[in-house]
Amino acid sequence: MNILYEDNHLLIVNKPFCMPSQGDASGDESIFDWAKAYIKDTYNKPGNVYVGLLHRLDRPTGGVIALAKTSKAAERISKQFQQRKVQKTYLAITEQTPSPKSGDLVHYLKKIAGKNIMRAYRKEVHASKIAKLSYQVLNTNGERALVEILPETGRRHQIRVQLASIGCVIKGDVKYGKSTFNPDKSICLLAHKLTLTHPTLKKEMTFEAPMPDEGFWKEF
């Protein structure tokens, strides 16, 4: 596991693609499971180990994920997430180049009943939640594009469904459009940067996961 930062309060990890953030029906090891075992083994902690999963990344995505090692840190960072003070930057490879090449997207997202799929609407509908992001094309290779995304809200599958709604499906994301599976069943969406205020040092810190140098990422 690639640890990006660690101290007595925080554990910041570069989550591998296709590893769940927390346990699911598959029974596969999750980031949460790994973190508890890592802390217990590394520091010879007796009994139950505290780990706070501060946010989640979809299983097929990779990149920066933050965990708390104390309940006080978890409380303070969770409050930053709730108040939208945590800044996130994502990178995605899309099957089509967005037009225009930069802009803002606003949709209303609603979960499809009985399915783990969100639907985007241009106008508010019953039980929908507003989703906002800005994007910028960084590079192109044929029809595909490397896109930087700055989400303002943190809705389920937000980036995936909002990009798909403008005809720019993320490579490998067959759930949201006409793409083909990546060999490892990942999708080309990376949580690239995460900026937050340290819970005790009170200073702003940015953690970064490098862009992968394999697979479709090598095109860029």
Indicate which residues carry an active-site annotation: 58
pLDDT confidence of residue 25: 81
Q: Which two tokens stand for residue 59?
A: 């299983």
Q: Which two tokens stand for residue 85?
A: 């003070």
Q: What is the pLDDT of residues 162-179, one digit of tens each?
A: 999 999 999 999 999 988
For the chain, give the mean pLDDT. 96
Q: What is the pLDDT of residues 65-77, one digit of tens each?
A: 999 999 999 999 9
CATH number at residue 7: 3.30.2350.10
Q: Which two tokens stand for residue 13?
A: 């990890």
In sequence order, which residues have a C-beta less than 8 Å from that of residue 114 and are 6 or more positions away?
Answer: none
Helix (H, G, I), strand (E, B) or coil at 166: coil
CA distance 207 to 63: 10
Residues 183, 186, 192, 197, CA torsion sign: negative
Range of the domain at 43: 2-219
Report the domain count for the chain.
Answer: 1
- Amino acid occupying residue 38: Y
pLDDT confidence of residue 186: 97
